Amino acid sequence: MERVGVFICHCGSNIGAVVDCARVAEAVRNYPGVAYSTDYKYMCSEPGQEMIQNAIKEHNLNRVVVASCSPRMHEKTFRACVEKVGMNPYMFEMANIREHCSWVHAGKNEEATEKAIDLVKMAVSKVCKNEVLQKGHAPVTKRALVVGGGIAGIQCALDIANNGYQVDILERTPSIGGKMSQIDKTFPTIDCSACILTPKMVEASSHPNIKLITFAELEKVEGYVGNFDVTIRSKARSVDMSKCTGCGTCMTKCPGKADDEFNMKLRKRTAIYTPFPQAIPNKPVIDRESCLKFKSRKEGKDVCGICAKMCPAGAIDYEQEDELFVEKYGAIVMATGYEQFDHSVYGEYGYGKYPDVISGLHFERLVNASGPTQGHIVRPSDHKEPKTVVMVKCVGSRDPEHGKSYCSRTCCMYTAKQATMIRDHCPDTKVYVFYMDVRTPGKLYDEFYNRTREEYGVDYIRGRVSKIYQEGEQLIVKGEDTLLGQQVEIAADLVILANAMIPNPDSEKMAQTVGIGYDKDGWFTESHPKLGPVETHTAGVFLAGACQGPKDIPDSVAQAGAAAVKVCALLSKDQLETEPTVSVVDTKLCSGCGLCVPVCPYKAITLETIQERKGGKTVERQVANVNSSLCQGCGACTVTCRSGSANLKHFTNAQILAEVDALCQTMQ
C-alpha cells in the first residue's frame, strides 16, 4: 500500500509569491496514494527536513514527494533527509515548481498554481511506482590524469602527487609550461614568470608520483568514474627519448626553418627543436612539416639527415610513428587552458596587416630577455625603439558583434603591467591606454593600476579606438576620449592590443571526447556556477584553470588545488558507490534478439546463455544481460527493446507512463 507524503515548499517568496502552496497541498490531499500533504516556508531548511522526517514516522509514510526547486539543486539533500529516518532514498521524488513554474510564470498565479498541482500529481503517480534501489559498488583505479601541462595542470598534478597518488600529465606540445612560460613578468608583483614557473616544472618532472606524457593527444575516453580507460596518441617525436641526452647538438646545424610559435612567430626556429631553452622534457622533436627530410620524402626523395649525423647518442629516429596506448585512471582533470583571440577580424585595427599592431602575448615575447629581441622593446617592422605606444583594451572581449560577449578578466591587469614595463625599459616612451572600464578586483590589483597611472605616468584614455592606419612609419590611432567628449588622434610607433582569452579551437571536440559540457563560447562548464566550480556533470572529471573560463595565474593555481582535493577525495576511496538507476533485463520477457547490444555506448550489454525449464525439459537460450557497473543509465536499450524486457530502474516504462497518464487525467 503506497503511503505518499507530499511537501510543498514556498522557498520563501520564490515559489510562495506566485504559487498558492497551501492550495496545492490541499488539491493533492485526496489524490490516490497520498497519505499526508502539507506546505512549509523552506523545505530544505533544518526545520523543514525535520518536518518531513517526523511526518514519515507519524504517518507511516513509505514514499515522499517534495515540490520545490530543481532536483538538480536539492534532490541529494532530500534523499539524504528521508534516508536518515530509514526510508530508501529512491522512494523520493521531486516536483520542480520553482525553476519550471513560479520563476517563469510571474504574475500568473492562478495558472502557475494549476501547473504546480499537475507537476505534483505527476510526481506522486511516479513515486507510487518507485522501487527500493540499492547503490552498487565499483573499484577505483588509484591514478589520475591531468590533461594539459600549463600552470594549472602542473599545480594540480603536484598537489595530487604530494597526497601520495600517481598522476600523469598529458601535454600536446613537446614541453610542459603552457602559456605562463611565454609570459615575461607576472602582475601585480612583476616577478619573473619563468623564475616561479620553472622550479614547478622541474618538481613535476622529477616527482616520483608524476609521469609526463608530452607531445601526445587525448584520443578517446571510455569507462566511468573511478575506472576510465583513456586512449592516448603519443605523436611521433622522431627522437628516441630513451637515448636522447638533451645536449642540443642536433639543433645547431638543422637547415629546416619554421615560424617559432613559442615566440609568436617573431623569429624562426629550426625543424628539430625544443620550444624554449628551459623546456621539460628538454629533448627535441622534429617538426615534420618543416623538416627537409620529411618534406623531401613526400616528393619521393630522401635528403638531409644532418641531425642524425650530428647526434652523438644516435637518438634520431625518422621512422617513428604515432603510437596509441590505453591507460587506466580513476579521475581526470581538464587543464587545457586558453588561446589568444585573433584580432585580425577587426578592420578598425587593420585586419592584422600592420606589423606594428601586436597582441599582448607578442609583447611578452618582445620584452623577454630570452625572446627574439633579447628583451629590447622594439617595433617588429624595423626594430626601432617606439617613442609612443598605444595600448587598446577589450580587443575581442565584451564585443558580441565581432568577438566575445564576456570580459576576459586578465587584460586590465596585464595591460597595466605591460605599460609599466614599457616605461621601465624605455623611460622616454609615452604610453597611452584606451579602455572601456578598468576592472581590478584582486589583491593589490587596484593599487598596481593606480601606480601605473600616478608613478609611471601612463595616460589612460576612456574610449574606444575607431581606426588605426599607417602613415609613413607611424600608426595613426584615432579614437574618442569619452570623458572629455573629444576626438583623439595619436601618432604611435607601436600599438599593443589586449586580446581576449578564448577557448582552444578544439575545446568542443575535446569536451565531446571526454563527455563533459561546454558553453556557447566553448569553455568547459562546471557542474554548478557557484557550488560546483571545479566539478563537471560527468562524475570523476574535474576542471582546473582557464579551460573553464578566463582566469589569471593566481585563480588558475587556486582552482588547480581545489580540483586536486576533489581528485584525492575520489582516489582515497577503495570502492565507489554507483548509481542503481541502471538498465535491467527481464529475462522472462527477453527473446535474446540482441538488437540492444550495439546500441549501448558503454558495451554494458552482452548476450548470455541461460537455462530454463520448458515443456518438462531444461532448455538453453540466450538473453541480454546488463553489466550494472558499466551501465550509466541512458535508456537507449529500453526503446530498442520491443518487448519491454529492458527497463531502466527509476525511470521505468511504468513510471513514465504513470506520469503521462497523471498529467493527461488532470486535463478534463
| Residues 620-639 close enough to bind another protein by CB under 8 A | 621-622, 632-636, 638-639
In this structure, the strands spanning 4-9 and 63-68 are parallel
Among 519, 532, 558, 625, binds another protein (CB under 8 A): 519
Q: State how far the Cα of 419 lies from the Cα of 452, in Å rounded to an integer.
A: 7
C-alpha cell at 594: 540482441
Q: State how far the Cα of 652 lies from the Cα of 645, in Å rounded to an integer.
A: 11
In the complex, least distance from residue 62 CB atom to another protein, rounded to whole angstroms: 21
In the complex, least distance from residue 583 CB atom to another protein, rounded to whole angstroms: 10
User: Which long-range contacts does 295-298 make (Cβ < 8 Å, 24+ apart)?
Assistant: 295/256
Among 3, 41, 108, 573, binds another protein (CB under 8 A): 108
Q: State how far the Cα of 212 lies from the Cα of 204, in Å rounded to an integer.
A: 8
In the complex, least distance from residue 339 CB atom to another protein, rounded to whole angstroms: 20
Nearer to another protein, 104 or 444 (CB): 104
Binders of another protein in range 123-142 (CB under 8 A): none
Binders of another protein in range 532-561 (CB under 8 A): 537-538
Nearer to another protein, 84 or 537 (CB): 537
Please tell me whether residue 174 binds another protein under the rule CB under 8 A: no
Query: Nearest 5 degrees, angle CA 657-CA 659-CA 660?
Result: 65
Please tell me whether residue 80 binds another protein under the rule CB under 8 A: no
In the complex, least distance from residue 593 CB atom to another protein, rounded to whole angstroms: 4
Please tell me whether residue 122 binds another protein under the rule CB under 8 A: yes
Nearer to another protein, 500 or 646 (CB): 646
Among 136, 248, 442, 515, binds another protein (CB under 8 A): 515
Among 62, 96, 340, 578, binds another protein (CB under 8 A): 96
Please tell me whether residue 35 binds another protein under the rule CB under 8 A: no
Residue found by looking up cell 616527482 in the block: 207
Among 86, 206, 531, 588, binds another protein (CB under 8 A): 588
Binders of another protein in range 454-473 (CB under 8 A): 467-472
Q: How far apart are the first and last CA of the chain?
A: 27
Nearer to another protein, 101 or 272 (CB): 101
Among 124, 543, 626, 658, binds another protein (CB under 8 A): 658
- What would you measure as the largest C-alpha separation in the chain, in angstroms? 103
C-alpha cell at 274: 625544443
Residue found by looking up cell 589612460 in the block: 460
Going from the C-alpha of 151 to that of each of 7, 48, 382, 468, 561, the distances in angstroms are: 48, 45, 34, 35, 11
In the complex, least distance from residue 213 CB atom to another protein, rounded to whole angstroms: 24
In the complex, least distance from residue 650 CB atom to another protein, rounded to whole angstroms: 9
Nearer to another protein, 307 or 514 (CB): 514
In the complex, least distance from residue 524 CB atom to another protein, rounded to whole angstroms: 12
Q: Residues binding another protein: what is the number (CB under 8 A)?
A: 89
In the complex, least distance from residue 594 CB atom to another protein, rounded to whole angstroms: 6
Among 158, 596, 605, 626, binds another protein (CB under 8 A): 596
Following DSSP, what letter does each residue of 251-313 receive, concatenated?
HHS---EEE-TTTTTSSEEESEE-SSTT-BS---EE-TTT-HHHHHHHTT-----HHHHH-TT
User: Do the beta carbons of residue 61 and residue 3 sit within 8 Å?
Assistant: yes
In the complex, least distance from residue 625 CB atom to another protein, rounded to whole angstroms: 14
Which of these ranges, 112-120, 159-167, 289-297, 360-368, lies near another protein under the rule CB under 8 A?
112-120
The answer to whether the Cα torsion of 270, 271, 275, 278 is positive or negative is negative
User: Do the beta carbons of residue 291 and residue 237 sit within 8 Å?
Assistant: no
Which residue from 377, 456, 443 is spatially nearest to 416, judged by alpha carbons?
A: 456
Nearer to another protein, 195 or 664 (CB): 664
Among 29, 455, 598, 609, binds another protein (CB under 8 A): 598
Please tell me whether residue 183 binds another protein under the rule CB under 8 A: no
Please tell me whether residue 505 binds another protein under the rule CB under 8 A: no
Binders of another protein in range 340-399 (CB under 8 A): 346-348, 350-351
Q: State how far the Cα of 604 lies from the Cα of 606, in Å rounded to an integer.
A: 7
Nearer to another protein, 224 or 273 (CB): 224
Burial class (CB in 10 A: 0-12, 13-18, 19+), 668: exposed
| Backbone angles phi and psi of 614, in degrees to 5 | -145, 125
Among 591, 625, 627, 628, binds another protein (CB under 8 A): 591
Please tell me whether residue 590 binds another protein under the rule CB under 8 A: yes
What residue spans of 98-192 are helical by DSSP H?
109-127, 151-162
